Amino acid sequence: MESKPQITIYLDDGVREPRISVSFKLEGNEFSKEYIWEKLRLEPSRFRTKVDWPVDSPDLHDKYKPGTTWELETGYEDCMSVSHQLEKIIERLIGKEATINQLCKE
């Protein structure tokens, strides 16, 4: 399993401020939502298993094959700085660093 912080910035010509979303993902071959709940006591914003992805293609490199994804996400917000969204994610993960590192080793 591995963790992946992600920042997405969406710019729309009609919007004065960018729309920013920050997410933190745990990705792996296969794990259960309940297992992560037991470890982190956090409900994900989104959870997908292999069967939720489009049909797996044998031509895909292993790195791009679908797996299980557990994600915390802020959702898109109009703002000029990403720090507000980062704080929302960090606040939920603070004190759980050792557990996240252990999950990544599994």
Q: pLDDT (tens digit, 9 = 90+) per residue, 33-75? A: 999 999 999 999 999 887 776 666 666 666 666 688 899 998 8
* Helix (H/G/I), strand (E/B), else coil: 54: coil
d(CA 49, CA 35): 13
Give the angle subtended at the CA of 102 by the CAs of 96 and 106, to the nearest 5°.
140
Considering only residues 11 and 23, tell me which one the structure prediction assigns the higher pLDDT: 23
Other CB atoms within a 10 A radius of the CB of residue 15 amount to 10
Residue 89, pLDDT above cutoff 80: yes
Q: What is the pTM of this model?
A: 0.74
Q: Residue 102 is encoded by which pair of tokens?
A: 């252990």
What integer pLDDT is reported at residue 101 of this predicted model?
92
Domain of residue 88, residue span:
2-105
d(CA 59, CA 86): 36
What is the band of 102 on the pLDDT scale with cuts at 50, 70, 90?
very high
Q: Total structural domains in the chain?
A: 1
